[in-house]
């Protein structure tokens, strides 16, 4: 097997004092944090698409990356080379998981049957690499947005024939995920939205999308897949109005179609900020609604209005997000997938390592900072104290439906006592967070 990264040594933990650029200074996978190792908490994954498929193009210029697996053979030969490169990278980086779209690992064929056969052959290749390296699949998914057939959506397409082609592709991608021991399956509706209401029947499209997702869940149970089905919210880009705008919107959709107990969310940091929310808001919302599943770890650029997919670098902000994940009991079968890409000027293969090493260290520092917040306990105690009145019997009776509106109003009138508000102490809490070490 050709070596693509022979000049890169395996990445090791060397501690905070290390001055080695390609070494972990904070991510010590075996370090115990709140009863679990860092590796168990973070469950890092490398995404196949940005890392091995993206060629550096943007809307104003062509590709800048000249990867060895981009040219010099047939599409299937190049797919095998890409798999070789990917697993060499995974091994040297030391991340335990990876994620892929079906079209990342195998090329589209001239017919649906040929596409399926291409995927099956590459699944065998990936399986052999997993067996050899011990790498695991965090999740698989189907690319239902790149091909021109999906320009008007996949599940929401006005043509039922294209709906059927999307179903075929998802079935095959789910089968591939199961064969490779994938722990989750993700659906991202990149084209599930509309450009203009002049040609759109939103009611039909909602129902189509609801039926499609129900079919996916039904298939999961028929096949005995034990993983979690995840839906990934995103507000816009490429569609002007996407139906999976944010976590709350997704929950409303799931509840309408009876899926709120079956499907969770895969939350991406950059998607959260594009929807006008913070990353921690989306995590806390998902936790409160019982649908927190997995994380796509990246960041956006506040001065740009699109999905820039940069590696994370702000430890204090990320620590708040990790704090909410820990408070929710963790991610279960989910993990931290780096849905991030190096900049198009970062053309050296070594830059792929710098991006991931830095991202993993940032997440590790955020985890340690979140651990301090939890051990300290003052944040949690403040929240508990703020809502303590609702734990008393009279308030519980209200929430549990034993008190009617007029009864409550009459009791307040009988007491005839005004109540002074209490400070939320936001500035104190912000200062408190800044005392923890990043």
Question: How many CB atoms are located within 10 Å of the residue 67 CB?
Answer: 20
Structure tokens that stand for 16 in this block: 């905070």
- Distance in angstroms (rounded) separating the CA atoms of residues 123 and 200: 38
- Distance in angstroms (rounded) separating the CA atoms of residues 162 and 312: 37
Whether residue 333 contacts residue 183, with contact meaning beta carbons closer than 8 Å, is answered with: yes
- Distance in angstroms (rounded) separating the CA atoms of residues 423 and 249: 31
Q: What does the H/E/C string look like for 79-111?
A: HHHHHHHHHHHHHHHCCCEEEEEHHHHCCCCCC
Q: Among residues 41, 50, 84, 104, which one is catalytic?
A: 104
- Distance in angstroms (rounded) separating the CA atoms of residues 389 and 370: 27
Whether residue 137 contacts residue 183, with contact meaning beta carbons closer than 8 Å, is answered with: yes
Structure tokens that stand for 44 in this block: 């890092």
Q: Among residues 41, 101, 129, 356, which one is catalytic?
A: 101
Could you check whether the bond before residue 175 is cis, i.e. omega within 30 degrees of 0?
no
Catalytic annotation on 101?
yes
Structure tokens that stand for 389 in this block: 């009145």
Catalytic annotation on 313?
no
- Distance in angstroms (rounded) separating the CA atoms of residues 47 and 126: 14
- Distance in angstroms (rounded) separating the CA atoms of residues 166 and 161: 9
Question: How many CB atoms are located within 10 Å of the residue 161 CB?
Answer: 9
As annotated, the active-site residues are 101, 104
């Amino acid at each position: 097997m050709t070596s693509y990264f022979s000049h890169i040594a395996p990445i090791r933990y060397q501690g905070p004092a290390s001055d080695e650029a390609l070494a972990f200074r904070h991510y010590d996978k075996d370090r115990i944090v709140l009863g679990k190792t860092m590796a168990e908490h973070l469950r890092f994954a490398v995404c196949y698409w940005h890392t091995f498929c993206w060629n550096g193009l943007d809307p104003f210029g062509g590709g800048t990356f000249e990867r060895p697996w981009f040219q010099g053979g047939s599409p299937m030969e190049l797919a095998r080379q890409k798999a070789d490169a990917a697993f060499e990278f995974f091994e040297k980086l030391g991340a335990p998981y990876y994620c892929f779209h079906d079209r990342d690992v195998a090329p589209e064929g001239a017919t649906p049957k040929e596409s399926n056969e291409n995927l099956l052959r590459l699944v065998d290749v990936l399986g052999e690499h997993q067996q050899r390296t011990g790498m695991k699949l965090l999740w698989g998914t189907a690319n239902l947005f790149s091909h021109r057939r999906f320009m008007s959506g996949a599940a929401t397409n006005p043509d039922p024939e294209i709906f059927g082609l999307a179903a075929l592709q998802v079935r095959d991608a789910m089968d591939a995920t199961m064969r490779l021991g994938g722990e989750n399956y993700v659906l991202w509706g990149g084209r599930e939205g509309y450009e203009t209401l002049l040609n759109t029947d939103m009611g039909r499209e909602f129902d189509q999308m609801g039926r499609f997702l129900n079919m996916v869940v039904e298939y999961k149970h028929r096949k005995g897949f034990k993983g979690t089905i995840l839906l990934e919210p995103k507000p816009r880009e490429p569609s002007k109005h996407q139906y999976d705008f944010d976590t709350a919107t997704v929950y409303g959709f799931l509840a309408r179609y009876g899926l709120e107990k079956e499907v969770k969310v895969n939350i991406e940091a950059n998607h959260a900020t594009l929807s006008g929310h913070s990353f921690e808001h989306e995590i806390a919302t998902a936790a409160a609604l019982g649908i927190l599943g997995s994380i796509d770890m990246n960041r956006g650029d506040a001065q740009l209005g699109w999905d820039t997919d940069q590696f994370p670098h702000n430890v204090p902000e990320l620590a708040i997000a990790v704090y909410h994940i820990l408070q929710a009991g963790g991610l279960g079968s989910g993990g931290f997938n780096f849905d991030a890409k190096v900049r198009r000027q970062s053309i050296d293969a070594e830059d792929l390592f710098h991006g991931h090493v830095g991202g993993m260290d940032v997440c590790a520092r955020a985890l340690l900072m979140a651990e301090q917040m939890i051990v300290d306990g003052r944040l949690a105690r403040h929240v508990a104290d703020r809502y303590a009145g609702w734990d008393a019997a009279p308030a519980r009776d209200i929430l549990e439906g034993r008190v009617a509106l007029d009864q409550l109003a009459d009791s307040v009138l009988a007491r005839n006592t005004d109540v002074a508000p209490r400070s939320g102490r936001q500035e104190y809490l912000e200062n408190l967070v800044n005392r923890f070490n990043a």
